[in-house]
């Protein structure tokens, strides 16, 4: 995925995240076994279901999602990694790495995500971060960058060897949302088995994620976890009919069923709707703004049928300049915004920009979606600038 597209995604996520809590949402009615859970639509970041989703809890091996994405982003995936004795003797789930053997970082990441190798996690951390402490620092810096406000990492694997190692269901969904913008991470996450042939030895690692390998045909990947203190943890992704979902459960005795039930109801209830096309807005008739105001990107959002019935779109623009002001006038950028509301409550907004010379319309043909719900425009000319 290009950096430009990735930036666009996070602009959208930011614009949505700063808006107030949305009480209009039609609830997903699912009973889950998990102590904490969340279901997020991947492209928009919209939370479709939450249960104690901001509560900090132990997370076990879903920690390794962060370890994997940092390794991928390091640019060292083709490096040969020398396994330290410290990595080789790491307890718990293991790839059975040998001290001083050399193995490609890419293969270590596959072993990390598919077989949940704790020895692999330490080997990756030491190579990418220079030391365990150095890598943990990178983990926490990335967590802050993504916006994981209820998270502290103290190791690269999730073992219960530190008290200060926890996250929330929502934070882990944010992490998975970020990681899934990386094509290499996507490929590794959805891989069912991986073969490594080296020095006459064949290793085959099969994915522990039963949703992917056996149970759920719409599964696109994820990461399992378990320790005695955290119990069962799971992050998984699924895709159907253009909707991509992320589910997270913490301390869930029946996590496979929790995830399938959440996915199934969301797929039944929601569709991704294009609410605004990139390009010139044709329905602005003010002489100054006509055929000059444009949306910088296409905005889509998951909505239920009931929510679409109350959908409104409100366009707000700055007051046009007077004739005296026109000589050296430069329009503010952005020049306004489009707000999207359901039953009068704003749930998202997109900035609008203005070009001084007429440009060809870059937007695509209007979706027939607009003919299926209330399409209400409010033009407010003369908005005061707010710092």
Residues 6+ apart with CB under 8 A from 181: 1, 6, 9
Phi, psi at 354, each rounded to 5°: -125, 135
Catalytic residue among 43, 51, 64, 236: 64
Contact (Cβ atoms closer than 8 angstroms) between residue 154 and residue 113: no
Residues 6+ apart with CB under 8 A from 333: 353, 354
- 84 in catalytic set: no
- 64 in catalytic set: yes
Residues 6+ apart with CB under 8 A from 168: 36, 53, 54, 55, 56, 57, 150, 151, 250
Catalytic residue among 43, 44, 61, 154: 61
Whole-angstrom Cα Rg for the chain: 24
Annotate 188-211 with b (16+ C-beta within 10 A) or e (fewer): bbbbeebebeeeeeebebebbbeb
- 374 in catalytic set: no
Beta bridge partners of 220: none
Q: What angle do CA 212, 213, 216 make, to 5 degrees?
A: 50
Write out the two tokens for 316: 């707000």
Write out the two tokens for 195: 């073969």
Contact (Cβ atoms closer than 8 angstroms) between residue 180 and residue 246: yes
Beta bridge partners of 233: 225, 250
Closest CA to 237 of 252, 251, 216: 216
Contact (Cβ atoms closer than 8 angstroms) between residue 156 and residue 125: yes
Catalytic residue among 43, 44, 93, 116: 116
Would residue 40 be called left, alpha or beta, if left means φ above 0 and alpha means ψ between -120 and 50 degrees? beta
DSSP string, 9-44: HHHHHHHHHTSPP-TTPPPP----S-SEEEEEETTT
Q: 147, exposed or middle or buried, with CB in 10 Å at 0-12, 13-18, 19+?
A: middle
Contact (Cβ atoms closer than 8 angstroms) between residue 334 and residue 317: no
Residues designated catalytic: 61, 64, 116
């Amino acid at each position: 995925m290009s950096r430009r597209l990735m930036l666009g995604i996070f602009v959208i996520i930011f614009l949505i995240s700063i808006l107030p809590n949305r009480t209009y949402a039609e609830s997903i009615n699912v009973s889950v076994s998990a102590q904490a859970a969340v279901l997020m639509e991947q492209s928009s970041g919209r939370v479709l279901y939450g249960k104690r989703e901001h509560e900090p809890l132990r997370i076990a091996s879903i920690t390794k999602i962060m370890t994997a994405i940092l390794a991928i982003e390091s640019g060292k995936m083709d490096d040969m990694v020398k396994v330290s004795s410290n990595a080789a003797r790491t307890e718990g789930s293991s790839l059975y790495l040998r001290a001083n053997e050399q193995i490609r970082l890419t293969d270590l990441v596959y072993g990390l995500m598919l077989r949940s190798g704790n020895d692999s996690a330490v080997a990756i951390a030491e190579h990418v971060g220079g030391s365990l402490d150095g890598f943990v620092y990178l983990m926490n810096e990335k967590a802050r960058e993504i916006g994981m406000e209820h998270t502290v990492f103290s190791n690269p694997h999730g073992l219960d060897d530190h008290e200060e190692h926890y996250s929330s269901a929502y934070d882990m969904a944010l992490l998975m949302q970020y990681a899934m913008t990386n094509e290499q991470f996507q490929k590794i996450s959805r891989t069912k088995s991986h073969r490594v042939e080296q020095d006459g030895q064949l290793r085959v690692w099969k994915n522990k994620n039963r949703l992917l390998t056996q149970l759920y045909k719409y599964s696109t990947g994820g990461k399992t976890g378990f320790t005695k203190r955290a119990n069962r943890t799971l992050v998984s992704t699924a895709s159907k009919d253009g909707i991509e979902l992320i589910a997270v459960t913490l301390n869930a005795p029946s996590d496979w069923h929790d995830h399938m039930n959440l996915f199934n109801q969301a797929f039944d209830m929601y569709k991704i709707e294009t609410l605004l096309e990139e390009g010139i807005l044709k329905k602005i008739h003010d002489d100054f703004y006509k055929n000059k105001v444009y949306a910088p990107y296409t905005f889509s959002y998951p909505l239920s049928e009931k929510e679409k019935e109350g959908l409104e779109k409100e366009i707000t623009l700055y007051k046009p300049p007077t004739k005296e002001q026109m000589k050296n006038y430069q329009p503010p950028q952005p020049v306004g915004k489009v707000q999207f509301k359901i039953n009068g409550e704003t749930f998202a907004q997109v900035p609008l920009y203005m070009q001084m010379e007429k440009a060809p319309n870059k937007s695509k043909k209007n979706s027939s979606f607009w003919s299926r719900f209330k399409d209400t425009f409010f033009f407010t000319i003369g908005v005061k600038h707010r710092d």
